[in-house]
Amino acid sequence: MRIGIAALLGAIVVFFWQFLAHMVLPIGEMGFRQPANEDIVLQAVATGLPQPGIYFLPTIDPNKMSDEATVKAWAEKSQKNPYVWAVVNTPPTGDPTSMAPQLAKQFVLNFLAALLATFVLAATAWTFGARVIGAVAFGLFGWLMNIVPQWNWYRFPSDFMVGNLLEQGIGWLLGGIAIAWWLGRAVRR
């Protein structure tokens, strides 16, 4: 029960922080840009990227990586063209202005992450401050293992990386304070 309540508090705090980062502060939008002509881009995507998936351009067929001429042509094309990483999916079903399903999923994901962090932090004899630092370490670990590789391999922009670092670092600092407070409070009873 103690772990569940601490995790719930942590999830609520992180969820609220994510709301602030995305809806009030510019942190959640760092790195995002508007296309110069959205209709042309959407038309090009519909014809050039017709299947749901993740695309990066210029691309090379992995089966042709041993063909020296193909690799050379791809390298030359890569040096002359912008790099594109695109996620293509089917249009959403239902009202595209309703974020309720995504918000519900996000809260569940936050709760699961907070539950994992709380389980580990509750198993320690750490002080309040050490538990808060431990929660921040969870956020940084996730950022380093999930977001930073996107920068490394797929050239995600640096401002996007900084925005995600701020979102994860501050979110798990605040969530860690809530978790550590409850865990410490429950022990004193």
pLDDT of residue 187: 54
Dihedral through CA 159, CA 138, CA 169, CA 176, nearest 10? 160
**Which runs of E-coded beta strand occur in 20-99?**
53-57, 84-88
Round to whole Å and give the CA distance between 140 and 68: 40
What's the pLDDT tens digit per position in 135-189? 999 999 999 999 999 999 888 899 999 999 999 999 999 999 999 999 998 555 4
Give residues with Cβ within 8 angstroms of 110, minimum separation 6: 10, 11, 14, 15, 18
- Across the range 100-113, mean pLDDT stands at 94
